[in-house]
């Protein structure tokens, strides 16, 4: 079994490599060797103008941002088996945020969402009791009905990628991200 966060770190490295020559995007991720990769940082989602512990709602695995300081994608990866309750917690804690920040070089750098900011939550769910079907048929459609705060990620921009095996999920995630960033 992989160490917690190891596959997320590898995904962050992969994505950083995909866009390293791009002047349009930057990637920040929270699992990996901070000494080897300058974009391995603490990434926070919050409500308000300035991040503080009292208004922080989410710790984010990956952010893809554009040159205008706008967020293209927020990616949360659950490497261990998740319950529907955990998935909903990940989604709604991020949907309630209006800003995101990364701590780099001792200071916070702030990013805002756009109407087209994508939220991707991916992971592994054992298919006991029809959990995968529940995600597809019940959870995903209900999330899309949620009315997001006006300055947050739009609920219709949420994608859930869950399979019974984390390595399969990571393959689907790479395919989706390739399509979204087009590099």
User: Which one is the CATH code of 6-181: 1.10.260, 3.30.110, 3.30.1490, 3.40.1350?
Assistant: 3.40.1350
The pLDDT assigned to 47 comes to: 96
What are the residue boundaries of the structural domains of the chain, listed by start?
6-181
Closest CA relative to residue 181, chosen from 18, 45, 6, 3: 18
Cα 119 to chain centroid, rounded: 6
**DSSP reduced 3-state for 154:** coil
| pLDDT per 10-residue tile (average), the chain, 183 residues | 80 90 86 77 95 96 94 96 93 96 92 96 89 92 92 96 95 94 75
CA–CA separation, 153 and 168 (whole Å): 26
The tokens for 127 are 């298919």
Instruction: Report which DSSP code applies to 153.
Output: -
């Amino acid at each position: 079994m992989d160490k917690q966060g190891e596959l997320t770190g590898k995904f962050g490295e992969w994505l950083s490599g995909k866009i390293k020559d791009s002047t349009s995007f930057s990637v920040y991720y929270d699992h990996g060797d901070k000494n080897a990769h300058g974009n391995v940082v603490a990434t926070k989602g919050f409500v308000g103008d300035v991040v503080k512990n009292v208004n922080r709602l989410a710790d984010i695995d990956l952010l893809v941002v554009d040159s205008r300081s706008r967020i293209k994608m927020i990616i949360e990866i659950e490497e261990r088996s998740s319950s529907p309750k955990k998935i909903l917690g990940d989604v709604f804690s991020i949907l309630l945020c209006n800003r995101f920040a990364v701590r780099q070089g001792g200071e916070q750098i702030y990013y805002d969402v756009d109407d087209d900011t994508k939220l991707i939550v991916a992971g592994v769910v054992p298919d006991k009791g029809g959990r995968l079907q529940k995600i597809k048929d019940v959870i995903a459609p209900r999330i899309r009905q949620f009315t997001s705060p006006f300055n947050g990620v739009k609920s219709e921009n949420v994608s859930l990628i869950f399979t019974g095996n984390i390595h399969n999920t990571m393959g689907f995630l790479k395919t989706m991200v390739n399509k979204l960033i087009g590099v």
